[in-house]
Amino acid sequence: MLGLYITSIMYWKDPIDFSFADRLDKVMVYSAILFSTYATYHTSRLVFTIWMSVLLLCGIVHITNEVLYHYQVAKPNKIQNFNPTNEIPTTSSHKNDTSIFNKYFSLEPTWSRTEERDFAYYRYTVTHGLGVHLLTGGIAGITVAVICLLKYQ
């Protein structure tokens, strides 16, 4: 976990996709997941089931979040980078949409310096924090710790 902490700081100091720090951080994330899975497997069936259920839910949240980010942020950034005039489209199909569900799960591109892009960044960050870190570290971590304490005290 110390290694994951260090690589996360390295990456978030200058967050560039596919950089050395990004790849190293991902290797540490996957290592931590594998070690946690191994450790819970050798603890008890209940602990392992809780961990795997949370990990499955976390994976679904993470993949959904990454797909939304790709369509809302990464893909429009590539379009803007290849646009020689750097013109930003001014129309957005979900600007007048009042449904938070439709806005949250929209695959519409967002453009720099717009409310939609700000919302996409906030959605991505909050979803990642709650759906990945809170689920794995908070819910699964605390539940597994309490069960281990009760069983092995």
pLDDT tens string 21-57: 999 999 999 998 998 899 889 888 988 998 999 999 9
Let me know whether 50 and 32 are in one domain: no
Let me know whether 67 and 108 are in one domain: yes
Let me know whether 98 and 25 are in one domain: no
Let me know whether 59 and 102 are in one domain: yes
pTM beyond 0.85: no
CA distances 119 to 59, 82, 138, Å, are 22, 24, 25
Let me know whether 98 and 54 are in one domain: yes
Let me know whether 142 and 119 are in one domain: yes
Let me know whether 23 and 90 are in one domain: no
Q: For 76-135, write each residue's pLDDT tens digit.
A: 988 887 875 766 665 555 556 568 899 899 999 999 889 999 999 999 999 999 998 888
Provide the Cα torsion 51, 52, 53, 58; round to 10°: 90
Tally of structural domains, the chain:
2
